[in-house]
């Protein structure tokens, strides 16, 4: 698969087949992703991939915290807070496309919450990865994390796998940090559920659009 096809085909997948990914393939993807660039080649990412019983234990821990009404303890301000103007509009459009795909109306709060809960059940994916970086690092190092995440996701697409990046997986950090053995001096930034897509599920059949390139990129050649 060429790079343009991988970029076009990658999308956030929110329903998965009950089928494990070969551990050798998972290892190869993360090994290949090591070619990602980073500031001063610092490679600030630390990743824990959970599968099998470890995956189930992390899911149970997050879901029980939510059911108990525990206040989230994110290490970073979540990316969906205080959005305004066109950013807020895109956030709402994205959420409505998601609800529409499974016939949930905005007024149906219980159903929306059930849908939201799927985040912490990894959308049924058999594997999930937690991405953290040292707490001593700052926004500019977070750029490296984003580049690395996209590299991992594109490698997954090119290898027939589906994924969903999730800020939601960085919300209930305490027990996750302990269960997934994430270093104490690291802050969890996001997670990634992954596996084989369940293409028949309607939640995987909507697409979110993008702004026009001319709205976001300027090409200047004269002063």
Ligand X SMILES: Cc1cc2nc3c(=O)[nH]c(=O)nc-3n(C[C@H](O)[C@H](O)[C@H](O)COP(=O)(O)O)c2cc1C
Please say whether the beta carbons of 193 and 205 come within 8 A. Answer: no
Beta bridge pairs of residue 197 = 16
Q: Any contact of residue 211 with ligand X (CB under 6 A)? A: no
Q: Which is nearer to ligand X, 27 or 97 (CB)?
A: 97
* Side-chain half-sphere CA neighbours of 163 within 13 A: 30
Site for ligand X in 4-43 (CB under 6 A): 11-12, 14
Q: Which is nearer to ligand X, 27 or 116 (CB)?
A: 116
Q: Any contact of residue 48 with ligand X (CB under 6 A)? A: no
Beta-carbon contacts of 89 under 8 Å, excluding residues fewer than 6 positions away, are: none
Tell me if residue 29 falls in helix, strand or coil: helix
Among 169, 161, 178, which residue's Cα sits nearest to residue 126?
A: 161
Retrieve residue 209's tokens: 């659009």
Rounded Cα–Cα distance for residues 147 and 165 (Å): 13
Q: Which of 173, 190, 192, 194 binds ligand X (CB under 6 A)?
A: 190
Q: Which of 15, 161, 164, 180 binds ligand X (CB under 6 A)?
A: 164
Site for ligand X in 64-103 (CB under 6 A): 94
* Smallest distance from ligand X to CB 221, Å: 31
Site for ligand X in 107-136 (CB under 6 A): 119
Binding site for ligand X (CB under 6 A): 11-12, 14, 94, 119, 164-168, 190, 208
């Amino acid at each position: 698969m060429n790079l343009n096809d991988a970029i076009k085909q990658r999308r956030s997948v929110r329903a998965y087949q009950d089928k494990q990914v070969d551990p050798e393939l998972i290892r190869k993807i993360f090994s290949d992703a090591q070619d990602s660039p980073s500031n001063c080649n610092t490679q600030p990412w630390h990743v824990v991939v959970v599968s099998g019983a470890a995956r189930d234990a992390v899911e149970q821990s997050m879901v029980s915290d939510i059911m108990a009404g525990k206040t989230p303890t994110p290490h970073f301000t979540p990316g969906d807070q205080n959005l305004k103007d066109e950013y807020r509009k895109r956030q709402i459009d994205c959420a409505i496309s998601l609800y529409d795909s499974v016939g949930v109306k905005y007024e149906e709060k219980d159903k929306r919450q059930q849908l939201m809960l799927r985040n912490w059940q990894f959308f049924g994916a058999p594997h999930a990865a937690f991405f953290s970086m040292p707490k001593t690092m700052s926004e500019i190092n977070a750029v490296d994390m984003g580049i690395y995440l996209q590299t991992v996701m594109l490698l997954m697409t090119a290898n027939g796998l589906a994924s969903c990046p999730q800020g939601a997986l960085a919300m209930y950090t305490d027990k996750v940090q302990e269960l997934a053995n994430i270093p104490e001096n690291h802050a969890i930034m996001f997670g990634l559920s992954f596996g084989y897509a369940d293409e028949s599920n309607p939640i995987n059949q909507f697409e979110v659009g993008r702004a026009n390139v001319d709205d976001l990129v300027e090409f200047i050649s004269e002063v």
